[in-house]
Structure 1
Protein backbone atom coordinates (compact mmCIF):
# COMPACT_ATOMS: atom_id res chain seq x y z
CA UNK A 1 0.00 0.00 0.00
CA UNK A 2 1.00 3.61 -0.50
CA UNK A 3 0.59 6.74 1.60
CA UNK A 4 -0.71 9.97 0.07
CA UNK A 5 0.19 13.59 0.76
CA UNK A 6 -2.25 16.28 -0.36
CA UNK A 7 -0.72 19.74 -0.70
CA UNK A 8 -3.24 22.40 0.30
CA UNK A 9 -1.01 25.36 1.06
CA UNK A 10 -1.64 28.77 -0.45
CA UNK A 11 0.96 30.63 -2.50
CA UNK A 12 2.35 33.92 -1.31
CA UNK A 13 0.10 36.83 -2.15
CA UNK A 14 -3.08 35.56 -0.53
CA UNK A 15 -5.89 33.17 -1.26
CA UNK A 16 -7.38 35.05 -4.21
CA UNK A 17 -9.33 32.12 -5.60
CA UNK A 18 -10.95 31.57 -2.19
CA UNK A 19 -11.97 35.22 -2.17
CA UNK A 20 -13.42 34.83 -5.66
CA UNK A 21 -15.41 31.78 -4.53
CA UNK A 22 -16.43 33.32 -1.22
CA UNK A 23 -14.93 30.66 1.06
CA UNK A 24 -12.37 30.63 3.87
CA UNK A 25 -9.76 28.55 2.05
CA UNK A 26 -9.17 27.51 -1.55
CA UNK A 27 -9.38 23.81 -0.64
CA UNK A 28 -12.95 24.37 0.57
CA UNK A 29 -14.29 25.75 -2.71
CA UNK A 30 -17.45 23.75 -3.48
CA UNK A 31 -17.47 21.69 -6.66
CA UNK A 32 -20.31 19.33 -7.37
CA UNK A 33 -21.84 20.05 -3.97
CA UNK A 34 -18.79 19.44 -1.77
CA UNK A 35 -15.39 21.02 -1.05
CA UNK A 36 -12.89 20.09 -3.71
CA UNK A 37 -10.42 18.67 -1.18
CA UNK A 38 -13.09 16.20 -0.13
CA UNK A 39 -13.31 15.07 -3.74
CA UNK A 40 -9.55 14.44 -3.76
CA UNK A 41 -9.67 12.54 -0.46
CA UNK A 42 -12.61 10.45 -1.66
CA UNK A 43 -10.84 9.52 -4.91
CA UNK A 44 -7.70 8.45 -3.08
CA UNK A 45 -9.67 6.29 -0.64
CA UNK A 46 -11.86 4.77 -3.34
CA UNK A 47 -8.79 3.74 -5.35
CA UNK A 48 -8.14 0.97 -2.83
CA UNK A 49 -4.38 1.66 -3.05
CA UNK A 50 -3.94 4.31 -0.35
CA UNK A 51 -3.72 3.33 3.29
CA UNK A 52 -2.98 6.72 4.87
CA UNK A 53 -3.69 10.32 3.85
CA UNK A 54 -2.07 13.48 5.20
CA UNK A 55 -3.05 17.02 4.21
CA UNK A 56 -0.42 19.78 4.36
CA UNK A 57 -2.15 23.15 4.76
CA UNK A 58 -1.06 26.63 5.82
CA UNK A 59 -4.10 27.05 8.09
CA UNK A 60 -4.95 23.67 9.67
CA UNK A 61 -7.97 25.12 11.51
CA UNK A 62 -9.63 25.79 8.15
CA UNK A 63 -9.77 22.03 7.54
CA UNK A 64 -10.55 20.94 11.09
CA UNK A 65 -13.79 19.24 10.04
CA UNK A 66 -12.11 16.86 7.60
CA UNK A 67 -11.84 13.22 8.60
CA UNK A 68 -8.14 13.11 7.75
CA UNK A 69 -4.73 13.82 9.27
CA UNK A 70 -3.58 17.42 8.89
CA UNK A 71 -0.12 18.97 9.20
CA UNK A 72 0.82 22.64 9.01
CA UNK A 73 2.48 23.53 5.72
CA UNK A 74 6.05 24.78 5.70
CA UNK A 75 7.14 28.12 4.25
CA UNK A 76 7.86 26.57 0.85
CA UNK A 77 6.08 23.89 -1.13
CA UNK A 78 9.18 21.74 -1.43
CA UNK A 79 9.74 21.84 2.33
CA UNK A 80 6.08 20.97 2.86
CA UNK A 81 6.61 17.87 0.74
CA UNK A 82 9.72 16.94 2.71
CA UNK A 83 7.95 17.35 6.06
CA UNK A 84 4.79 15.63 4.92
CA UNK A 85 6.51 12.61 3.40
CA UNK A 86 8.82 12.37 6.42
CA UNK A 87 5.72 12.13 8.61
CA UNK A 88 4.04 9.59 6.32
CA UNK A 89 6.95 7.45 5.23
CA UNK A 90 7.42 5.96 1.77
CA UNK A 91 6.32 4.94 -0.78
CA UNK A 92 4.23 8.08 -1.11
CA UNK A 93 1.99 9.60 -3.73
CA UNK A 94 1.84 13.40 -3.74
CA UNK A 95 -1.05 15.37 -5.23
CA UNK A 96 -2.81 18.69 -4.64
CA UNK A 97 -6.05 19.84 -3.06
CA UNK A 98 -7.05 21.59 -6.29
CA UNK A 99 -6.94 18.35 -8.30
CA UNK A 100 -10.72 18.40 -8.05
CA UNK A 101 -11.48 16.04 -10.94
CA UNK A 102 -9.26 13.26 -9.57
CA UNK A 103 -10.73 9.80 -10.11
CA UNK A 104 -9.91 6.49 -8.37
CA UNK A 105 -9.11 4.97 -11.76
CA UNK A 106 -6.42 7.58 -12.36
CA UNK A 107 -4.77 6.81 -9.03
CA UNK A 108 -4.76 3.08 -9.79
CA UNK A 109 -3.40 3.62 -13.30
CA UNK A 110 -0.64 5.88 -12.05
CA UNK A 111 0.49 3.46 -9.34
CA UNK A 112 0.14 0.38 -11.58
CA UNK A 113 2.32 1.89 -14.33
CA UNK A 114 5.15 3.35 -12.30
CA UNK A 115 8.62 2.92 -13.76
CA UNK A 116 11.37 1.31 -11.73
CA UNK A 117 12.53 4.69 -10.45
CA UNK A 118 12.83 6.56 -7.17
CA UNK A 119 10.83 9.55 -8.38
CA UNK A 120 8.14 9.73 -11.04
CA UNK A 121 5.58 12.20 -12.35
CA UNK A 122 2.33 11.79 -14.23
CA UNK A 123 2.10 13.59 -17.58
CA UNK A 124 -0.48 13.74 -20.38
CA UNK A 125 -0.16 14.49 -24.08
CA UNK A 126 -1.69 17.69 -25.38
CA UNK A 127 -3.93 15.83 -27.83
CA UNK A 128 -5.34 13.72 -24.98
CA UNK A 129 -5.96 16.77 -22.80
CA UNK A 130 -7.48 18.90 -25.54
CA UNK A 131 -9.46 15.95 -26.89
CA UNK A 132 -11.33 15.69 -23.58
CA UNK A 133 -11.46 19.39 -22.70
CA UNK A 134 -11.06 21.43 -25.90
CA UNK A 135 -11.92 24.71 -24.17
CA UNK A 136 -9.30 24.43 -21.44
CA UNK A 137 -6.22 26.66 -21.43
CA UNK A 138 -3.15 24.62 -20.51
CA UNK A 139 0.57 25.22 -20.83
CA UNK A 140 2.26 22.37 -22.69
CA UNK A 141 5.95 21.57 -22.76
CA UNK A 142 6.90 20.90 -26.39
CA UNK A 143 9.43 18.09 -26.84
CA UNK A 144 10.56 15.87 -29.69
CA UNK A 145 8.16 13.09 -28.72
CA UNK A 146 5.14 15.35 -28.17
CA UNK A 147 3.71 18.20 -26.13
CA UNK A 148 2.94 17.41 -22.51
CA UNK A 149 1.26 18.78 -19.40
CA UNK A 150 1.80 17.70 -15.81
CA UNK A 151 -1.00 15.86 -14.00
CA UNK A 152 -0.35 16.79 -10.35
CA UNK A 153 0.58 13.20 -9.55
CA UNK A 154 4.04 12.49 -8.16
CA UNK A 155 5.60 9.40 -6.60
CA UNK A 156 8.47 9.02 -4.15
CA UNK A 157 9.59 5.42 -3.76
CA UNK A 158 11.96 5.83 -0.82
CA UNK A 159 13.18 8.46 1.63
CA UNK A 160 16.24 9.20 -0.50
CA UNK A 161 13.81 10.48 -3.13
CA UNK A 162 13.25 13.55 -0.95
CA UNK A 163 16.59 14.83 -2.26
CA UNK A 164 14.87 15.45 -5.58
CA UNK A 165 11.93 17.46 -4.24
CA UNK A 166 13.59 20.88 -4.44
CA UNK A 167 14.70 20.17 -8.01
CA UNK A 168 11.20 19.03 -8.94
CA UNK A 169 9.75 22.26 -7.58
CA UNK A 170 12.27 24.30 -9.59
CA UNK A 171 11.11 22.59 -12.79
CA UNK A 172 7.46 23.07 -11.82
CA UNK A 173 8.11 26.79 -11.36
CA UNK A 174 9.76 26.95 -14.78
CA UNK A 175 7.11 24.98 -16.68
CA UNK A 176 5.93 28.13 -18.47
CA UNK A 177 9.50 29.26 -19.19
CA UNK A 178 11.00 26.53 -21.40
CA UNK A 179 14.25 28.40 -22.06
CA UNK A 180 14.92 28.74 -18.34
CA UNK A 181 14.09 25.07 -17.90
CA UNK A 182 16.60 24.12 -20.58
CA UNK A 183 19.26 26.23 -18.89
CA UNK A 184 18.55 24.38 -15.66
CA UNK A 185 18.84 21.01 -17.40
CA UNK A 186 22.25 21.96 -18.79
CA UNK A 187 24.14 22.19 -22.10
CA UNK A 188 23.39 18.65 -23.26
CA UNK A 189 19.66 19.29 -22.97
CA UNK A 190 20.05 22.62 -24.77
CA UNK A 191 21.88 20.88 -27.62
CA UNK A 192 19.26 18.12 -27.77
CA UNK A 193 16.48 20.73 -27.93
CA UNK A 194 18.29 22.70 -30.62
CA UNK A 195 18.61 19.57 -32.76
CA UNK A 196 15.06 18.36 -32.13
CA UNK A 197 16.12 15.38 -29.98
CA UNK A 198 14.92 16.44 -26.53
CA UNK A 199 12.39 13.83 -25.40
CA UNK A 200 10.65 13.08 -22.13
CA UNK A 201 13.09 10.23 -21.54
CA UNK A 202 16.01 12.59 -22.12
CA UNK A 203 14.53 15.09 -19.64
CA UNK A 204 14.18 12.28 -17.09
CA UNK A 205 17.82 11.31 -17.70
CA UNK A 206 18.97 14.89 -17.10
CA UNK A 207 16.89 15.09 -13.92
CA UNK A 208 18.54 11.85 -12.83
CA UNK A 209 21.98 13.33 -13.53
CA UNK A 210 21.22 16.50 -11.57
CA UNK A 211 19.59 14.81 -8.59
CA UNK A 212 21.48 11.55 -8.35
CA UNK A 213 18.11 9.76 -8.28
CA UNK A 214 16.49 7.42 -10.76
CA UNK A 215 13.64 9.31 -12.42
CA UNK A 216 10.77 8.41 -14.69
CA UNK A 217 7.28 9.25 -15.90
CA UNK A 218 3.81 7.79 -16.24
CA UNK A 219 1.99 8.89 -19.36
CA UNK A 220 -1.65 9.20 -18.35
CA UNK A 221 -4.40 8.38 -20.89
CA UNK A 222 -6.84 10.63 -19.01
CA UNK A 223 -6.89 14.17 -20.36
CA UNK A 224 -8.76 15.62 -17.40
CA UNK A 225 -5.95 14.50 -15.11
CA UNK A 226 -4.08 17.61 -16.31
CA UNK A 227 -6.82 19.96 -15.10
CA UNK A 228 -6.49 21.67 -11.73
CA UNK A 229 -8.22 24.69 -10.20
CA UNK A 230 -5.68 27.49 -10.21
CA UNK A 231 -7.72 30.47 -11.37
CA UNK A 232 -11.36 31.55 -11.80
CA UNK A 233 -11.63 30.23 -15.36
CA UNK A 234 -10.40 26.82 -14.15
CA UNK A 235 -13.07 26.81 -11.46
CA UNK A 236 -15.78 27.67 -13.96
CA UNK A 237 -14.56 24.91 -16.31
CA UNK A 238 -14.31 22.25 -13.60
CA UNK A 239 -17.75 23.06 -12.23
CA UNK A 240 -19.17 22.73 -15.72
CA UNK A 241 -17.39 19.41 -16.27
CA UNK A 242 -18.70 18.01 -12.99
CA UNK A 243 -22.18 19.20 -13.92
CA UNK A 244 -21.89 17.52 -17.30
CA UNK A 245 -20.88 14.27 -15.64
CA UNK A 246 -23.77 14.46 -13.20
CA UNK A 247 -26.35 15.23 -15.87
Structure 2
Protein backbone atom coordinates (compact mmCIF):
# COMPACT_ATOMS: atom_id res chain seq x y z
CA UNK A 1 0.00 0.00 0.00
CA UNK A 2 2.95 2.31 0.53
CA UNK A 3 3.33 5.37 2.71
CA UNK A 4 0.33 7.13 4.16
CA UNK A 5 -0.99 10.22 2.39
CA UNK A 6 -1.10 13.60 4.13
CA UNK A 7 -4.47 15.34 3.84
CA UNK A 8 -4.90 19.09 3.57
CA UNK A 9 -8.33 20.63 4.15
CA UNK A 10 -8.83 24.22 3.00
CA UNK A 11 -11.16 25.86 5.52
CA UNK A 12 -10.30 29.54 5.28
CA UNK A 13 -12.53 32.45 4.41
CA UNK A 14 -12.59 33.38 0.74
CA UNK A 15 -11.03 36.84 0.34
CA UNK A 16 -11.23 37.17 4.12
CA UNK A 17 -14.98 37.75 3.97
CA UNK A 18 -17.65 35.90 5.94
CA UNK A 19 -19.62 33.56 3.68
CA UNK A 20 -23.39 34.19 3.30
CA UNK A 21 -24.14 30.69 4.63
CA UNK A 22 -22.05 31.43 7.71
CA UNK A 23 -23.87 34.72 8.26
CA UNK A 24 -27.21 32.96 7.95
CA UNK A 25 -26.14 30.25 10.40
CA UNK A 26 -24.65 32.77 12.85
CA UNK A 27 -21.11 31.33 12.73
CA UNK A 28 -17.77 32.95 11.93
CA UNK A 29 -16.62 30.53 9.21
CA UNK A 30 -18.39 28.64 6.45
CA UNK A 31 -16.70 25.44 7.65
CA UNK A 32 -18.68 25.74 10.91
CA UNK A 33 -22.08 25.83 9.20
CA UNK A 34 -24.05 22.80 10.45
CA UNK A 35 -25.12 20.15 7.95
CA UNK A 36 -27.12 17.17 9.22
CA UNK A 37 -26.38 18.15 12.80
CA UNK A 38 -22.68 18.89 12.78
CA UNK A 39 -20.26 21.42 11.25
CA UNK A 40 -19.24 20.88 7.63
CA UNK A 41 -15.60 20.55 8.59
CA UNK A 42 -16.32 17.72 11.02
CA UNK A 43 -17.90 15.62 8.25
CA UNK A 44 -14.78 16.04 6.13
CA UNK A 45 -12.37 15.30 8.99
CA UNK A 46 -14.40 12.24 9.99
CA UNK A 47 -14.04 10.80 6.48
CA UNK A 48 -10.31 11.47 6.37
CA UNK A 49 -9.70 10.13 9.88
CA UNK A 50 -11.63 6.95 9.08
CA UNK A 51 -9.44 6.22 6.05
CA UNK A 52 -6.56 3.82 6.61
CA UNK A 53 -4.79 5.52 3.70
CA UNK A 54 -4.56 8.93 5.38
CA UNK A 55 -1.95 9.88 7.97
CA UNK A 56 -1.62 13.45 9.17
CA UNK A 57 -4.53 15.80 8.52
CA UNK A 58 -3.74 19.49 8.13
CA UNK A 59 -6.43 22.17 8.21
CA UNK A 60 -5.71 25.63 6.79
CA UNK A 61 -7.83 28.25 8.56
CA UNK A 62 -7.19 31.88 9.52
CA UNK A 63 -7.81 31.27 13.22
CA UNK A 64 -6.52 27.81 14.22
CA UNK A 65 -8.13 28.27 17.66
CA UNK A 66 -11.49 27.77 15.92
CA UNK A 67 -10.68 24.07 15.58
CA UNK A 68 -10.00 23.72 19.29
CA UNK A 69 -13.54 24.90 19.92
CA UNK A 70 -14.91 21.82 18.16
CA UNK A 71 -15.21 19.02 20.72
CA UNK A 72 -15.37 16.44 17.89
CA UNK A 73 -11.81 17.31 16.82
CA UNK A 74 -10.04 17.63 20.17
CA UNK A 75 -8.96 13.99 20.29
CA UNK A 76 -7.29 14.21 16.87
CA UNK A 77 -5.61 17.48 17.83
CA UNK A 78 -4.36 16.04 21.12
CA UNK A 79 -2.82 13.00 19.41
CA UNK A 80 -1.21 15.22 16.78
CA UNK A 81 -2.98 13.63 13.84
CA UNK A 82 -4.87 16.86 13.12
CA UNK A 83 -2.63 19.90 12.70
CA UNK A 84 -4.10 23.43 12.37
CA UNK A 85 -2.19 25.72 10.00
CA UNK A 86 -2.81 29.44 9.63
CA UNK A 87 -4.36 30.17 6.24
CA UNK A 88 -2.78 32.91 4.12
CA UNK A 89 -4.38 35.72 2.15
CA UNK A 90 -4.77 33.67 -1.02
CA UNK A 91 -5.42 30.07 -1.93
CA UNK A 92 -1.98 29.27 -3.30
CA UNK A 93 -0.07 30.67 -0.33
CA UNK A 94 -2.42 28.75 1.99
CA UNK A 95 -1.63 25.50 0.16
CA UNK A 96 2.12 26.18 0.13
CA UNK A 97 2.16 27.15 3.82
CA UNK A 98 0.13 24.12 4.84
CA UNK A 99 2.34 21.83 2.75
CA UNK A 100 5.53 23.10 4.39
CA UNK A 101 7.19 20.17 6.13
CA UNK A 102 4.38 17.78 5.17
CA UNK A 103 5.04 14.23 4.06
CA UNK A 104 4.00 13.55 0.47
CA UNK A 105 1.88 12.47 -1.33
CA UNK A 106 -0.65 15.17 -0.50
CA UNK A 107 -4.44 14.98 -0.88
CA UNK A 108 -6.15 18.37 -0.95
CA UNK A 109 -9.85 18.96 -0.43
CA UNK A 110 -12.17 21.63 0.94
CA UNK A 111 -14.16 21.97 4.16
CA UNK A 112 -17.44 22.08 2.23
CA UNK A 113 -16.84 18.65 0.66
CA UNK A 114 -19.13 17.13 3.31
CA UNK A 115 -20.08 13.99 1.35
CA UNK A 116 -16.50 12.74 1.10
CA UNK A 117 -16.11 9.10 2.19
CA UNK A 118 -13.21 6.76 3.01
CA UNK A 119 -14.12 4.64 -0.03
CA UNK A 120 -13.94 7.67 -2.32
CA UNK A 121 -10.56 8.58 -0.82
CA UNK A 122 -9.29 5.05 -1.54
CA UNK A 123 -10.66 5.21 -5.09
CA UNK A 124 -8.91 8.54 -5.65
CA UNK A 125 -5.55 7.31 -4.35
CA UNK A 126 -5.79 4.05 -6.31
CA UNK A 127 -6.58 6.02 -9.48
CA UNK A 128 -3.55 8.25 -8.98
CA UNK A 129 -1.29 5.23 -8.58
CA UNK A 130 -2.78 3.38 -11.55
CA UNK A 131 -2.08 6.34 -13.84
CA UNK A 132 1.41 6.99 -12.47
CA UNK A 133 0.33 10.59 -11.96
CA UNK A 134 2.40 13.48 -10.65
CA UNK A 135 -0.80 15.40 -9.91
CA UNK A 136 -4.47 14.50 -10.22
CA UNK A 137 -7.96 15.98 -10.13
CA UNK A 138 -11.09 14.07 -9.07
CA UNK A 139 -14.15 14.09 -11.32
CA UNK A 140 -17.37 12.12 -11.44
CA UNK A 141 -19.79 11.51 -14.29
CA UNK A 142 -23.01 13.47 -14.72
CA UNK A 143 -25.14 10.34 -14.44
CA UNK A 144 -23.42 9.45 -11.16
CA UNK A 145 -24.14 12.90 -9.69
CA UNK A 146 -27.80 12.75 -10.70
CA UNK A 147 -28.07 9.22 -9.32
CA UNK A 148 -26.85 10.54 -5.96
CA UNK A 149 -29.40 13.38 -6.03
CA UNK A 150 -31.43 14.88 -8.88
CA UNK A 151 -30.54 18.40 -7.71
CA UNK A 152 -26.95 17.60 -6.78
CA UNK A 153 -25.32 19.71 -9.48
CA UNK A 154 -26.58 21.94 -12.26
CA UNK A 155 -23.34 22.62 -14.10
CA UNK A 156 -21.10 20.07 -15.77
CA UNK A 157 -17.99 20.02 -17.93
CA UNK A 158 -18.96 18.58 -21.31
CA UNK A 159 -16.54 16.42 -23.29
CA UNK A 160 -16.97 14.34 -26.41
CA UNK A 161 -17.57 11.09 -24.52
CA UNK A 162 -19.48 12.33 -21.43
CA UNK A 163 -20.13 15.20 -19.02
CA UNK A 164 -18.38 15.49 -15.67
CA UNK A 165 -18.37 17.43 -12.42
CA UNK A 166 -15.32 18.38 -10.40
CA UNK A 167 -15.12 16.86 -6.90
CA UNK A 168 -12.97 19.50 -5.15
CA UNK A 169 -10.35 16.85 -4.48
CA UNK A 170 -6.76 17.05 -5.72
CA UNK A 171 -3.59 15.02 -5.28
CA UNK A 172 0.11 15.76 -5.59
CA UNK A 173 2.78 13.10 -5.69
CA UNK A 174 5.65 15.22 -4.37
CA UNK A 175 6.78 18.74 -3.68
CA UNK A 176 7.72 19.29 -7.33
CA UNK A 177 4.03 18.90 -8.24
CA UNK A 178 3.25 21.99 -6.15
CA UNK A 179 4.49 23.97 -9.10
CA UNK A 180 1.04 23.52 -10.64
CA UNK A 181 -0.44 25.51 -7.75
CA UNK A 182 1.60 28.56 -8.73
CA UNK A 183 -0.61 28.87 -11.81
CA UNK A 184 -3.45 30.02 -9.56
CA UNK A 185 -1.49 32.46 -7.40
CA UNK A 186 -3.48 35.40 -8.72
CA UNK A 187 -6.75 33.58 -8.00
CA UNK A 188 -9.70 35.77 -8.92
CA UNK A 189 -7.39 38.07 -10.86
CA UNK A 190 -7.85 35.63 -13.76
CA UNK A 191 -11.31 37.15 -14.09
CA UNK A 192 -9.94 40.68 -14.40
CA UNK A 193 -6.94 39.61 -16.49
CA UNK A 194 -8.00 36.65 -18.67
CA UNK A 195 -4.69 36.69 -20.55
CA UNK A 196 -3.07 35.29 -17.39
CA UNK A 197 -5.04 32.05 -17.57
CA UNK A 198 -4.45 31.90 -21.32
CA UNK A 199 -0.73 32.17 -20.65
CA UNK A 200 -0.91 29.45 -18.01
CA UNK A 201 -2.93 26.86 -19.91
CA UNK A 202 -2.58 27.88 -23.53
CA UNK A 203 -5.33 29.35 -25.73
CA UNK A 204 -5.93 26.14 -27.69
CA UNK A 205 -6.24 24.09 -24.52
CA UNK A 206 -8.75 26.53 -23.05
CA UNK A 207 -10.87 26.65 -26.19
CA UNK A 208 -10.99 22.87 -26.35
CA UNK A 209 -11.84 22.65 -22.64
CA UNK A 210 -14.53 25.33 -22.86
CA UNK A 211 -16.31 23.72 -25.80
CA UNK A 212 -15.77 20.09 -24.84
CA UNK A 213 -13.63 19.25 -27.84
CA UNK A 214 -12.11 15.82 -27.34
CA UNK A 215 -12.21 13.52 -24.34
CA UNK A 216 -11.46 14.37 -20.72
CA UNK A 217 -8.40 12.11 -20.83
CA UNK A 218 -7.06 13.78 -23.98
CA UNK A 219 -7.58 17.22 -22.42
CA UNK A 220 -5.46 16.26 -19.42
CA UNK A 221 -2.80 14.80 -21.69
CA UNK A 222 -2.50 18.26 -23.24
CA UNK A 223 -2.37 19.90 -19.82
CA UNK A 224 0.36 17.42 -18.88
CA UNK A 225 2.46 18.42 -21.85
CA UNK A 226 1.93 22.08 -20.99
CA UNK A 227 3.14 21.60 -17.41
CA UNK A 228 5.79 18.96 -18.19
CA UNK A 229 4.33 16.47 -15.72
CA UNK A 230 1.59 13.84 -15.72
CA UNK A 231 -1.67 15.45 -14.58
CA UNK A 232 -4.46 12.89 -14.54
CA UNK A 233 -8.24 12.96 -14.10
CA UNK A 234 -9.53 10.32 -11.66
CA UNK A 235 -13.18 9.37 -12.15
CA UNK A 236 -14.95 8.62 -8.86
CA UNK A 237 -17.92 6.25 -8.90
CA UNK A 238 -19.86 8.05 -6.14
CA UNK A 239 -21.46 11.11 -7.71
CA UNK A 240 -22.26 12.56 -4.28
CA UNK A 241 -18.62 13.61 -3.89
CA UNK A 242 -19.27 16.37 -6.45
CA UNK A 243 -21.96 17.93 -4.26
CA UNK A 244 -20.14 20.53 -2.19
CA UNK A 245 -22.10 22.94 0.02
CA UNK A 246 -22.08 26.39 -1.57
CA UNK A 247 -25.58 27.68 -0.88
CA UNK A 248 -28.86 26.87 0.83
CA UNK A 249 -29.91 24.50 -1.96
CA UNK A 250 -26.78 22.35 -1.83
CA UNK A 251 -26.83 22.46 1.96
CA UNK A 252 -30.29 20.92 1.81
CA UNK A 253 -29.18 18.34 -0.76
CA UNK A 254 -26.16 17.34 1.32
CA UNK A 255 -28.35 17.04 4.40
CA UNK A 256 -30.69 14.66 2.58
CA UNK A 257 -27.82 12.49 1.32
CA UNK A 258 -26.21 12.30 4.76
CA UNK A 259 -29.53 11.39 6.37
CA UNK A 260 -30.08 8.67 3.75
CA UNK A 261 -26.62 7.26 4.44
CA UNK A 262 -27.31 7.24 8.18
CA UNK A 263 -30.62 5.43 7.65
CA UNK A 264 -28.99 2.79 5.45
CA UNK A 265 -26.25 2.27 8.00
CA UNK A 266 -28.78 1.91 10.82
CA UNK A 267 -30.83 -0.57 8.77
CA UNK A 268 -27.73 -2.67 8.13
CA UNK A 269 -26.87 -2.96 11.84
* TM-score, normalised via structure 1 length: 0.88
Correspondence 1:85-100 to 2 at 5 A: 85-100=99-114
- Any gaps of 5 or more consecutive residues in structure 2? 191-195, 264-269
Note the C-alpha offset of 1:218: 0.7
Distance 1:15 1:120, change over 3 A: same
Distance 1:227 1:169, change over 3 A: farther
Instruction: Please tell me whether the aligned partners of residues 89 and 159 of structure 1 are also in contact (alpha carbons under 8 angstroms).
Output: no
- Structure 1 distance, partners of 2:66, 2:206, is 44
Higher mean alpha-carbon deviation, 218-227 vs 189-198, is at 189-198
Aligned to 2:8: 5
- Structure 2 distance, partners of 1:190, 1:77, is 22
Distance 1:171 1:129, change over 3 A: farther
Aligned to 2:158: 142
Aligned to 1:164: 180
SS at match of 1:95: strand
Equivalent residues, number: 245
Instruction: Please tell me whether the aligned partners of residues 56 and 73 of structure 1 are also in contact (alpha carbons under 8 angstroms).
Output: yes
Distance 1:11 1:198, change over 3 A: same
Distance 1:166 1:147, change over 3 A: farther
Distance 1:11 1:193, change over 3 A: closer
- Structure 2 distance, partners of 1:137, 1:219, is 16
- Structure 1 distance, partners of 2:18, 2:210, is 39
Instruction: Please tell me whether the aligned partners of residues 20 and 232 of structure 1 are also in contact (alpha carbons under 8 angstroms).
Output: no
Note the C-alpha offset of 1:75: 1.0
Note the C-alpha offset of 1:196: 6.6
- Structure 2 distance, partners of 1:195, 1:59, is 41
- Structure 1 distance, partners of 2:120, 2:9, is 15
- Which of residues 197, 201, 210 in structure 1 aligns to 2:226? 210
Note the C-alpha offset of 1:194: 9.5
Is it true that 1:152 corresponds to 2:168 in the alignment?
A: yes
- Which of residues 114, 137, 140 in structure 2 aligns to 1:121? 137
Is it true that 1:36 corresponds to 2:40 in the alignment?
A: yes
Q: CA RMSD in A?
A: 2.9
What do residues 104-124 of structure 1 show as CA deviations (whole Å, max 9, x unaligned)? 111111111212111001101
- Any gaps of 5 or more consecutive residues in structure 1? 175-179
Note the C-alpha offset of 1:103: 0.9
Is it true that 1:131 corresponds to 2:135 in the alignment?
A: no
Instruction: Please tell me whether the aligned partners of residues 149 and 226 of structure 1 are also in contact (alpha carbons under 8 angstroms).
Output: yes
What do residues 207-233 of structure 1 show as CA deviations (whole Å, max 9, x unaligned)? 223322221111011110101111121
- Structure 2 distance, partners of 1:109, 1:21, is 33
Note the C-alpha offset of 1:144: 1.2
* TM-score, normalised via structure 2 length: 0.81
